[in-house]
Amino acid sequence: MMVLPGGILRAGQRHQDCRLAAPNGRVALALTDSLVATSSHPLWVSQTLVVILDELAGEAPCPADVEALCVADRQWLAIQWHLHTAEQPERPAWFSADCQACTARYDFSPRWQDVPLKPAAESYPYADVKLSLGQARFRVPNGLLQQQLAQTDRQDTRRCIAEALWVSLDGQPPPVHGDRDLSEADLDAIESELEAVSPELGLTLATRCPECGSEQVVTIDPYSGLASPPHDLLADIHCLASHYHWSEDAILDLPDSRRRHYLKLIDRDLGQHGQGGH
Ligand SMILES: [Zn+2]
């Protein structure tokens, strides 16, 4: 059982417990297929979270549950999946960046384990904010908001976010858009209170360009590599099917560790016969 940085509400109670699925080919294939089929990145993340989570707050998660997860929870789960499925989780991940000073492309290798986490505040998932209109409550940004933003063409993103996250004003439902407008100062206050309440992962790193030595601030994408290239998995299936004559279904159901083990055995046998590697 793992503990989410934020968690979801069920009947007013905050639940942070979750459990990841056992990695196998079928899960990997589902992640790749949804990447191809989905229209927006946040929607794809929601679909992958449904696939990689066996349990969220004691139940198999539905789309609404993973949409209700705050942004840091979603990122954190993607990172836990990396660590859960990597053959050698202690090894660093490789990223590339283009130097802003000399344009050289260089590599850097953070470790997912080392990504710092700012915990959620006590009042999570709500932030209470004193506005020019009265005392208001907002909930922290979650997957549903990210999905909505990916579909909207409204230019005033800050206002759009505040309106979408608004829970109440002086204990009553919030006013309808355009009725009583939020001032710029209100928007500032909402933004900073939501930031204070939300958990946050430190995905921004200081790196140094090896060519010109200038310091570069880079952001790492927690969702990178969540879907492995399909040809890797298909090559595994092909190799195992040719050697053992197992069905595709049977191979997809093998736990990742067992699949890797059989591939190593095939490699070893081929090596002994002087036919090169798999
Ligand atoms: Zn440089």
pLDDT in tens, 69-103: 999 999 999 999 999 988 888 889 899 999 999 99
CA–centroid distance, 268 to ligand 1, in Å, is: 43
What is the pairing mode between strands 13-20 and 134-139? unpaired
pLDDT category at 179 given cuts 50, 70, 90 is: low
CA–centroid distance, 207 to ligand 1, in Å, is: 11
pLDDT at 278 over 60: no
Q: Give the model's pLDDT for residue 178.
A: 66
CA–centroid distance, 225 to ligand 1, in Å, is: 26
Of the chain, the percentage scoring pLDDT greater than 70 comes to 97
CA–centroid distance, 215 to ligand 1, in Å, is: 8
CA–centroid distance, 212 to ligand 1, in Å, is: 4
Average pLDDT over residues 13-41: 89
Q: Alpha-carbon distance 129 to 136, whole Å? A: 5
pLDDT at 276 over 60: no
CA–centroid distance, 91 to ligand 1, in Å, is: 26
CA–centroid distance, 203 to ligand 1, in Å, is: 21
What contacts 148, CB < 8 A, 6 or more positions away?
164
Phi, psi (rounded to 5 degrees) for 57: 50, 40
Of the chain, the percentage scoring pLDDT greater than 90 comes to 78
In three-state secondary structure terms, 179 is coil
Q: Give the model's pLDDT for residue 242.
A: 94
Q: Alpha-carbon distance 35 to 39, whole Å? A: 9
CA–centroid distance, 96 to ligand 1, in Å, is: 13
CA–centroid distance, 217 to ligand 1, in Å, is: 12
CA–centroid distance, 210 to ligand 1, in Å, is: 7
Cis peptide before 5 (omega within 30 of 0): no
Pull the structure tokens for residue 176: 């309808």
CA–centroid distance, 261 to ligand 1, in Å, is: 42
What's the mean pLDDT when you consider all of the chain?
92
CA–centroid distance, 112 to ligand 1, in Å, is: 25
CA–centroid distance, 100 to ligand 1, in Å, is: 7
Tell me which residue of 130, 21, 6 sits closest to 74, measured CA to CA. 6
pLDDT in tens, 199-221: 999 999 999 999 999 999 999 99
Among 32-36, 205-209, 242-246, the range scoring the smallest mean pLDDT is 32-36
- Work out whether the CA dihedral 128, 129, 130, 132 comes out positive or negative: negative
CA–centroid distance, 105 to ligand 1, in Å, is: 8
Q: What are the domain boundaries of the chain?
A: 2-90, 122-198, 230-272
Alpha helices (H) in 10-142, listed in sequence order: 25-37, 41-52, 63-67, 71-85
Q: Give the model's pLDDT for residue 17.
A: 98
Q: Give the model's pLDDT for residue 154.
A: 81
